A = this chain, B = another copy of it.
Amino acid sequence: MTKRIGLFGFGVVGQGYYQIAKKQKEQWIPDTIVVKNKFKRRPSDIKFSYNPQEVFDKNPDYVLELISNTEEAYQYVTEALKRGITVISANKKLLSAHLPELIQLQRVFGGKLLYEAAAAAGIPVITNLETHFEEDNIVALEGVLNGSSNYILSRIFNNGLSFSDALRLAQQKGFAEDDPKFDINGSDVASKLNILCLHAFGKFIGEAHIPTFGIQHLGEEEIALAKSLGLKIKLIAKAEKDYRGISAFIIPTLVAEYNPFHGVENEYNAVKITSEHLQEQFYQGKGAGSLPTGAAVYGDLIKAKNGFGYNYSKVNFDKPLEEKLLNLGVRVLIKSKSESQIESVLFSPELNQHIDGYHFAVGKVKPKNFNRLNESGEVSIIALPDDLSADQISEGLNCAQNAEEMV
């Protein structure tokens, strides 16, 4: 039987979906496609609408919400769920902001909401958390979750580009937004980690509460240090759970060759899940792009048709969904022009070095300080592998400096 599908949005993701649906059985072609900008050129063989209500007037079986705006997406998605319609969304900002309410609407009105494309795009991480890991106890989840940041870091480390040149290239390639702020300051990653935490641990943290430090303050000195140590820097989202509670944060991290994230390059995303029974699993795939995201949306639709929905199996619905994060110190290399600024956040110091007008220190920083440091713009922090000693870092810093002076 042909299903009625209403589609909101015909951008990167919407077009990817459409291209895939067109190749398959006819029933998955949307009968209404709503877009926003009346002055945009559109393919002449597809009918578009500018009236959101038209989707609902046609009593759709499924609604696909693939738009860039959050408030309007909230209107469309809640409206659909209140009608008991199954919704597929790729909108991490929307989901991250409203998941508790959206879960509640599914439970009350019986419509399902699937959103595999919203976190790590093509990688089926949410589905696997909900099925394969359903009865397993997840103790850690780590990820490279922003394709643009990762692309920039790849160009810096593999092609020797400067940060600003790498960013420009990412924009040219369409990996970064016109305003790439949310990509490189970690905010996009925080949305995704917030969604994943709910499926991994059954708790809603709220992205504003996830300590976040982006890649935009990475300086040449840290990059040179990483290279001189034979390491790379990746923007890592990390969440851990133990008997005390959950810790989660986002921070540029030095990774060694043995770390599976070391090989995650360009616009790829990756997720590592550590659990009691399955132990350690690692998934890697395209984190952005028209076809991979369109395929994830298409996959959600097929899963929904087959009766699949998220059970939110880790959630205990008799308890509050919200949970506060622990605030355990993270071992970092910190760089600043101001020693007192470092002293105000660093504890358990292991190293203190002064090079070329910068103070470098190794020690621990509480994640609660990350956002403030991120916004101040005067400090750079990088998380360190446990087995990298302060002495090695000191040597690396000297070595990187000498290399620079030789140039």
Residues of chain B within 8 A (CB-CB) of A279 are 122, 285-286, 289, 291-292
Q: Indicate whether A123 reaches chain B with its CB closer than 8 angstroms.
A: yes
- Name the residue on B nearest A158 (C-beta): B258
Contact B281 A135 (CB under 8 A): no
Of A44-52, A124-132, A166-174, A321-329, the one contacting chain B is A124-132
Contact B20 A281 (CB under 8 A): no
**A256-287 CB contact bits vs B (8 Å, 1 = yes)?**
01101011000000000001111111111110
Of A7-15, A32-40, A297-305, A333-341, the one contacting chain B is A297-305
Q: How far is the CA of A281 from the CA of B123 in the complex (A)?
A: 7
Contact B307 A292 (CB under 8 A): no
Q: How far is the CA of A256 from the CA of B74 in the complex (A)?
A: 47
Contact A132 B124 (CB under 8 A): yes
Residues of chain B within 8 A (CB-CB) of A277 are 16, 20, 291-292, 294-295, 298
Contact A122 B281 (CB under 8 A): yes
Q: Indicate whether A75 reaches chain B with its CB closer than 8 angstroms.
A: no
- A residues 109-132 near B (Cβ < 8 Å) are 116, 122-124, 127-128, 131-132
Q: Indicate whether A134 reaches chain B with its CB closer than 8 angstroms.
A: yes
A138 to chain B minimum Cβ distance, whole angstroms, is 12
Q: Indicate whether A136 reaches chain B with its CB closer than 8 angstroms.
A: yes
Contact B260 A262 (CB under 8 A): no
Q: Indicate whether A24 reaches chain B with its CB closer than 8 angstroms.
A: yes
Q: How far is the CA of A135 from the CA of B124 in the complex (A)?
A: 14
Contact A20 B299 (CB under 8 A): no
Q: How far is the CA of A302 from the CA of B308 in the complex (A)?
A: 13
Which of A276, A283, A308 has most B Cβ within 10 Å?
Answer: A283
Contact A278 B122 (CB under 8 A): yes
Contact of A128 among B24, B124, B263 (CB under 8 A): B124
Contact A302 B134 (CB under 8 A): yes
